[in-house]
Structure 1
C-alpha cells in the first residue's frame, strides 16, 4: 500500500483527486485525532498526514483560484500587456533618438535625463503586467474611467484602496526589477507578448476601453 513520504498513513487515494476528497480525508483524520486513546505513533503519523493534506488542499485551491481569475481577467490583461510593450518600446526609441541628437549638449542631457525616467516608468509598468500574481484579482494599470463624480463614500473608499494596492504592487515590481528577481523578465515577457493572440470566438468581444473601465470596479465594489 502506497503511503506518504512524511507519514505512515495512506493518503494516496485522495492526492490529485480534487478538493472535496481532500477535505473529507482531513475531516476524517481530524475526528480521529480527537480520540484520547490513540497510540503516540499513530497520532504522530496522522498529524503528519494531516499537514500534508492541508498543504495539498492549499495548492489545489490556489490552482483553482488562479484558473478562475485567469478566465475572468484574460482580456484586460491581454490588452494591458500589449499597451505596456508599446509604451516601453516607444520610450526606448525616443531615448535613442535623443542620445543621437545634435544640439546644445546641456539641453540634450536634460532631455535624456527626463526620458530615462519615462523609460523607467514603462519598465515598471511592464514588470507589473507580466508578473501580477495569478491568484489575485487583477488591478488594471491603464483604467480610463477616472470620473468619480456621483460616487458614494463607499465607492470612493474602494477606489482609494485599489489605487493604494496598485501603487504597492508597482513599488514591489520595481524593487524586483532592480534586483533581477522578477519571475518573468522584461525580455522574456516581450517575446511572449509578441506571440500572444486572443480567442474572440467563445464570447462577445469587448473593446480595450471596456476592459479597462470594468476591471477596477471589481475591487471598488466587492
Structure 2
C-alpha cells in the first residue's frame, strides 16, 4: 500500500513540475532583481526564452532605452589616408536597445543626438563618433561554459558574464587643410557584464580591437587562397551610465 501511495505522490509532483513551465507564476523562480526583471517566459520543450524588461525605478542602470551610456574610445595608431598613424579620442552616447525574441539577449546601439548647445570647452571635448552599424550580445564565458545549465533550472537566471560589442565606423575626416581621413573600420570589445541588486554593471575598462585580414596561398601553385584573421588591440574603451531618460 505504501509503495502505491509513493508512486501517486511522485506522479503528482512530476505533473505539477511540467505544467508549471507554462504557468505565468513560473517566472518568479527565474526573476532577476526588480529593475531588470523577466516580463514573460516561453517554453519550447525544456528551453525557456527570456525577455528583459525595465521597471519604473530610476535608480539603476539597464540595457534598455531607460539608460544612456557614455562610451569613451581612446584609439591609438589608426592608419590615415595619407599613410601615417594617428591617436584619437572619441565618445559615443547611446542606449542599448534589445531585440525581443532572442536568447541570449542582444540588440543594437541607439545613438543619442549631439548636444549642439553645449559650448563649454568645445575644443577640448572629444569628438562624438557616428556609427554606421552596431551590434551587442550577452555571452557566456568561452573559457568556462556552463552548457546552459540555467535552462534546466540549476541557476535562478542566465549566466552571461560578457557583453560582446561590435561597432562599424564610417570614414572620419580629420581637422586640417590636407583633407586627411581615417578609412572605415570595425571595432570589437568584450566587456565584463553582471547584474547586481537589479542594476546592470559593465566593467569600465575593455580592450578595443580591430580584425586584420591577410590572404595567403593555400598551395604552392597559388591556385587556392585562405584568409587569416588577426585581432589587433588599438586602444581602450571606458563605459559608464550617464543618465536615465
State the TM bucket, normalised to the shorter chain. under 0.3
Q: Which has the higher helix share?
A: 1
**How does the TM-score come out when normalised to structure 1?**
0.26
**How does the TM-score come out when normalised to structure 2?**
0.24
Q: Which has the higher strand share?
A: 2
For CA contacts below 8 A with separation 6 or more, give which structure has more relative contact order: 1
